[in-house]
Amino acid sequence: MWRKGVAKRNHLVLMTIFYAINNLYTALGSPSVPGWIPNAGDPCADGWQGVQCVGPNITAIILNDADLGGELGENLGIFTSIIMIDLSNNRISGSIPENLPITLRELNIQNNQLSGTLDVLQYLPLNYLNVENNLFSGFVPTKLASIPNFR
């Protein structure tokens, strides 16, 4: 009986993650990236470009040099298995959302047009962070400056 419950729960988790990645796609201005669509779809099963998975879990989103505009959106925190995000060399603007994947270890957002402060990043378990060439303001939190690969 509980097996059925677990399957149902996993299904709900997956539906939520699909919602989150659809939302990211829209937030980024609906770029033409192979596989990416605004509604439904399964990024892992359907091999969306730049999405890496382990089984059904998304572990990385790598869309550098992809001519992305728009913003990061408010739903990245829904992803609970993402370890790496590389959105470097795009035209993404707006601020870094407060809600980010708590599993995130590597973030590369260099060469974009992001603004605001870096404060929210200090709560993540990052060991790689590149924020070069954006429009950020304010101080770099000490915790971030001490990341070995901070740039």
How far are the Cα atoms of 78, 99, 121 from residue 103, in angstroms, in the given order?
Answer: 11, 12, 12
Residue of minimal Cβ distance to ligand NAG:
55
CB of 137 to ligand NAG, least distance (A): 36
Interface pick for ligand NAG out of 52, 81, 95, 99 (rule CB under 6 A): 81
Asked whether position 12 contacts ligand NAG by CB under 6 A, the answer is no
Contact 91/109 with Cβ under 8 angstroms? no
Query: Site for ligand NAG (CB under 6 A): which residue of 52, 57, 64, 117?
Result: 57
Please report whether residue 52 would count as binding ligand NAG according to CB under 6 A.
no
Q: Does 145 bind ligand NAG (CB under 6 A)?
A: no
Which residues form the interface with ligand NAG (CB under 6 A)? 54-55, 57, 81
